Structure 1
Amino acid sequence: MAKGQIRKALSGFYYVQDGEHFIQCRGRGVFRNKGITPLVGDYVEYEVEGNNDGIITNILERQNELVRPPVANIDQAILVFSTKEPAFNTILLDRFLVVLESFQVHPIICLTKTDLLNDEEKQKIAKYRAEYEAIGYTMIETYKEDPNLLEKMAPLLKGKTTVLAGQSGVGKSSLLNTIMPSLALKTGIISEALGRGKHTTRHVELIELAGGLIADTPGFSSFDFDTIEKEELTQCFPELFSLSEGCKFRGCLHLKEPKCAVKLAVEDRTVEQYRYEHYLQFLQEITDRKPRY
């Protein structure tokens, strides 16, 4: 039984890389009967049929899987967020960070359009950057057609499987085009009226870049908390989670419970007020969610 990784899926075919070779495979009929879809990024077992064709017989256990783009075994996501046009949005960023933490996908924050900032705006962004880096997040800054972009990103990409995600209209496709010019992805034009970009994604493929793999299509532009329970939310805020061991009650939700280490840290300003407020807002959203049966 041969093994490899699906690097591309197109029109019902899966292109499996096994060493130096690409094998064009179909999935077993039993996958369809069981509602299982092989995903780009899956490690699979396959049987060779003919010269360069095969049948995928087994999908090995996944580390994780994403819906948009449909890809498995992702190590990290580069979250592309604009510093201007649209303005930097911490609640949207925190929403993305929470969902990635829940999927155990490591986030890297990439701030774009930094060349458009005036001095006051630069100071504001520097403050936010310091706050997120203090939590433990990696941040990089870039601008359109930044000649040093790949150099900035290369150490982060090495040995990892990466997807891009982030706000609509912030330049995800442009960023991919800059680091992989051969892609020539169609870039969405921001609608001035809506402040949103047009949807321009395609099929997904993992491409080798800087010693790692990167999905050649930008991912999700919005997130919900359908898979997160309220008891798990604290784990998705690293600075709150590390403090929660000091709470008097196990399973403390950091609302009205006495002797809550998180609320104390907010009062002491060792935790940023806006991060705690976003936590409370997300907690309410999860609490108000209709039950699933």
Structure 2
Amino acid sequence: MRSIIVVVLASLLVACGGGPQERTTPDERGDLVGGGGVIGHQTLGIPPGIDGSRWRWTEAYCTEGPLDLLARGYAATVEVHQDGDSLTLVTDQVFATESCQHTLVQHAAPGVPDWQIEEVTRIAVPSTPECFGSPEARRPGDLRITDGRLEVLIQRSQWCNGLEVRMVYERAPEELLSEDQIIRRYAAFWSRGDAAALSALFATGGSLLEPFTQTQTGDAYRHVGREAVLAWFEETFETAPWRSLRITEITEDPSADGASHRTVTWEYMDPRLSEPFSGTTRFTIAAGEIFEARIELTSEPAEVAGDQEEASEGG
């Protein structure tokens, strides 16, 4: 039972994502595989010095011309991290006129002749179908730095109704993550099973309280310090091959200590469960870091037949 609950819990934290609105332009096909299609500007290899860089969106283009996102109150930042011969792009984007926020995680790998770019995680707030939208499928494209600006090109993109999109970003200074960004990233990194990125959201002396580890008093078990939090996440992520979480509500709680207090209500599902279960995570956030996250269940996990014995033995 502990192994099942463990996975569910922390992940449940947050969920959401979003997608571009439909446009009525022709669908540009025949460029998905093989010869590089209509893009004649592939970048060979990963641009030097891109690891750890941060960028701010400035403009976007479709094959037939500029893509107007300002009317939707669009704003976005991208962080780029290199992992061997591929890149991870973490995008925080907002559609202000639609009250919709996303955190997206994309995997980008150079190839011959095309890069392959795939959205692997999407967290949307709110998690309505309208805000969540449709994740971008794996597509050929390109990623390059031109005149000091980052350009990400994706063929057959939803942004352009099947045409190529080119997103352009300028370098942005380092700055603290907002409370909303932290919560969405917590959910995104949990969904990916990225223990290192998830624990990095915590302060060095931050703590995580969870109800899955048994204590003599029956109280939640407290993991103190980023390294202890990392160890628990690593153990937790071994208990299920995938997880799905959905945020149902985020509330801001009163604060008298100068920190920000948020309560996230969520639903969680993984392949060992017969149905989603729910809970809350209460965050204490200050100076762009999590100082405490307290996980509480509001419903009990229901395991699929045949998994209950295995789950209880694994705890």
Shorter-chain TM-score category?
A: under 0.3
The structure whose RCO (Cα within 8 Å, separation 6+) is larger is 2
Please give the TM-score of this superposition, normalised by the length of structure 1: 0.26
Please give the TM-score of this superposition, normalised by the length of structure 2: 0.25
**Structure showing the higher helix proportion among its residues:** 1
